[in-house]
Each structure stands twice: as C-alpha cells, then as structure tokens.
Amino acid sequence: MGDTTMTAFQVAGDRWLDLTDPDVHTAGVPHATFQRLRDEDPIAWCEERDGSGFWSVTRYRDIVDLNRDFKTFTSERGIRLEEMDEEETAARRTLMEMDPPEHTRLRRLVQGGFTRRMVRSYESAIQELAGEVLDEALPKGSFDFVTDVARQLPMRMLGRLLGAPEEDYDRLVGLGDSMIGNTDPEFTEHVVDRDDTAEFRLLPFRSPAGIELFEYAQRLADDRRTNPTNDVVSKMLAPTMDGEPLTDLEFKNFFTLMVAAGNDTTRYTLAGGLLALLDHPDQLAMLRDRPELLPTAVEEILRWTSVTMHFRRTATRDVEVHGTTIREGDKVVLWWISGDYDERQFEDPFRFDITRDPNEHLAFGRGGPHRCIGEWLARVEIEVTLRELLPRVADLRVDGPIRRLRSNFISGIKHLPVRATLA
C-alpha cells in the first residue's frame, strides 16, 4: 500500500473480523479481512449468529462470473443476508428479487426514465438543485457535509423525477433512511438485529416505514392514473404497445425500492468521495486545476467508496467453484466492495487515483441482469455536485469526528463535519 492510503476507510490490520456484525463496519471498511479472504480463501464459508451461514465471494473475477450466472445463483430468495420465509419473500418482492424473464419484463417498464440520455436531459435541473443546496450550506462556514449537502440532493432530484411534491421530500428521505438504516439506532426505532421486529416482517426491510411509503406510492399512482403528466411515474403506469403497465403492487414496490436504493447510496458516495479528496490533497488539487478529469474522478470515487457492499444470491443446484462445493440452497454473498480493491483487477487498488482508466469497478454491479438502474443519475449527481462545489470554496477541511452507518450492507459516512472558506 502507498503511504497516502485511507483514514476513515481503514480498520487497522485486523484480518479476522466478523463481516456480518454491523458494529464492525462503524469503524471502517474491514479491508484487511477482505484482503485475507481474497488471498487465502476466495470462496469462504462464514458463520452467522442468527442465520445458517453463507459463502463469501471476494475476488473480482468470481463476483462477476457468479453474478452473470443467474440460473445457478438466483435473486428470488432475497438479496440481503436476512433469511425470509416464503410469505415474507412474496410480500416484499421487488425487481431486485426476480430473475429473468420476469425481471426483464418489469425492468423494461421502469428503466426508460433513467437512461444516460434521459439523465443528461435533467442535468441543468441537477445543477440548479446542487447550487441551491451548496449556497445554503457553505455560508454557514462549519457544517455537516452529509446532512446539509449530500443528503439533500438525491431525494430532491428523485422527488422531481417521480413528480412528488416538494414539501414531501424531507419525509421521504426520513422514510428511506429508516429502511436502509434498519440496523442503525440513529435512523430507526426498530433496530432489526436488536429489537423484536416480527410484526414488520412482511414490509420492505422489515421496517414500518414501508407502510407509509406504500400508502404514499398508492396515492401518487391514483393521482397519475386520473391526471397523467409527462413524468416518469405516468409513463410507468401507462399501458405500453408491447406489454402491460405496472400493477399497483409492482408500482408500490418499485417506488419503495427507489426511495431506498436511489437516495442514500448517492449520498454516501458523495460523502465518501469528498472525504477521499480531502484525504488526498494532491488529487484534490489536480481536480481543481483540471475539472475535465471529473468523469474519471467520479468513477474512482465510486470504486473507492463502493457503497453497496454486497448483494446475496442463493444456489439453485450443487455447484463447484475453485474446488469448493456450494450446495443447493446455500446463500452466496458477492462482496462488490472487496472486488473493487482486488489487486488481480486493479493496479495498486489502495491508491486513490482520479485519473485511473480503465476503471471497471463493481459499485453498480457487473455482468448480471440487475446492474444498477440509477447509475447515470448517480454519476451526474456526483459530478455536478463536485463541479459546483470546488469553485465555490478556497479551502475545505474536516472539522470534527466522522461517524459511519451501523450496517453490514451499506458502507456509509453518515456525518462528515467540515469547515469551508468561501472562494
């Protein structure tokens, strides 16, 4: 490793951490443990305190290959570690928990609003929103970059896209947080690995926030069916030439998925990206001098932060990988974040290099049918925020303790106090 490595991202040398323990991740990404697994046990059996255990896949190539083989490694039995019975699986099913061909049909119905070309057409709206958010936060001097900036933008943009009224955005962000942050007491009153959450077992993320989001989505759908507009929601609900429109349940599940998937992932990438730049002043200076490097800088930020740490699959048959037999029904966890630091794929992966190219990271998945729908939206939001931020500040520095999300699923900096001197 080079000497300008990570501060908040590194756990000092512990090679044997329990990857399932949410507390482990509050100290930083357990890179030493991932590195040991990549080198010594790339298909490793990991025990779980409350579950049956799972296979950890930690090398880049294996992750992509297994992800591609959706027939052997299905998403239908859940994509997070949590084990669900049939009733829970059916009630909480979204696009993410489907395999082709069912997945293909639904994905086709929803992806149109998020293509690269569509997102570029929202770029000026994103720029305007980023400018507003920054102009509110920066004059404070000292502020929390996550709550005041990074948390604000993605939901405002998604809210506009989905045609939700502006006064609802804060509420939607809060609901999204309590789902994704379902193991962090700052974000939920029902911490799933500590409290009894059986009564919420049929709701997304086993969280009561799901009820409110379902009701919200139903109202939105009813409104758009009676008063269709030109927005993404109306398009999703309109009958298509070659297929059925979304049913109400499909729409509610998709809406909830968007609020969960499209909101805090971009937020935490922005926060982790800013911290990486502040930790590497040479890279920050280079980006200031050469803003044309923003696109490769964004890719490096995505690789470096790799916010969605894993997705899980379940084996549909006995299969051998590197001499290890994975049995039908076994859980298999693809650790995107480990693949993103795999020395076999990335030269000097612990070097943060905004010029890295090619940079085929796994932050949005790779190889399989579920590749992130929001990838272009996320990219443009990150790029535009940095483009708007850097010229506005003469100096920016960390100004207090950094706090990380308590989660084994999302790697996130939830508080990043900074001090800004305006340009």
- Note the residues at the interface with ligand HEM (CB under 6 A): 67, 95-96, 107, 114, 257-258, 261-262, 265-266, 269, 307-308, 311, 336, 363-365, 368, 370-374, 377-378
Contact in structure between 151 and 173 (CB atoms under 8 Å)? yes
Phi first, then psi, for residue 25 (nearest 5°) are -80, -15
Contact in structure between 413 and 277 (CB atoms under 8 Å)? no
Residue whose CB is less far from ligand HEM, 307 or 315:
307
Residue whose CB is less far from ligand HEM, 138 or 261:
261
Question: What minimum distance in Å lies between the beta carbon of 356 and ligand HEM?
Answer: 17
Provide the H-helix boundaries in 245-374.
248-261, 264-279, 281-289, 294-305, 336-339
CA 346 from chain center: how many Å?
Answer: 21
Residue whose CB is less far from ligand HEM, 330 or 340:
340
Residue whose CB is less far from ligand HEM, 43 or 95:
95
Residue whose CB is less far from ligand HEM, 143 or 311:
311
Residue whose CB is less far from ligand HEM, 197 or 356:
356
Question: What minimum distance in Å lies between the beta carbon of 139 and ligand HEM?
Answer: 27
Question: What minimum distance in Å lies between the beta carbon of 298 and ligand HEM?
Answer: 9
Phi first, then psi, for residue 33 (nearest 5°) are -65, -45
Query: Quick check: helix, strand or coil at residue 412?
Result: coil
Question: What minimum distance in Å lies between the beta carbon of 382 and ligand HEM?
Answer: 7
Measured CA to CA, the distance from residue 3 to residue 30 in angstroms comes to 18
Residue whose CB is less far from ligand HEM, 153 or 420:
153
Relative to beta strand 54-57, strand 417-422 is unpaired
Q: Compute the Cα dihedral for 381, 386, 387, 388 and give only its sign.
A: positive
Question: What minimum distance in Å lies between the beta carbon of 250 and ligand HEM?
Answer: 12
Question: What minimum distance in Å lies between the beta carbon of 104 and ligand HEM?
Answer: 9
Question: What minimum distance in Å lies between the beta carbon of 80 and ligand HEM?
Answer: 11
Q: What would the DSSP string read from start to end of 158-218?
A: HHHHHT--GGGHHHHHHHHHHHHTTT-TTT-SS-TTTS--GGGTTSGGG-THHHHHHHHHH
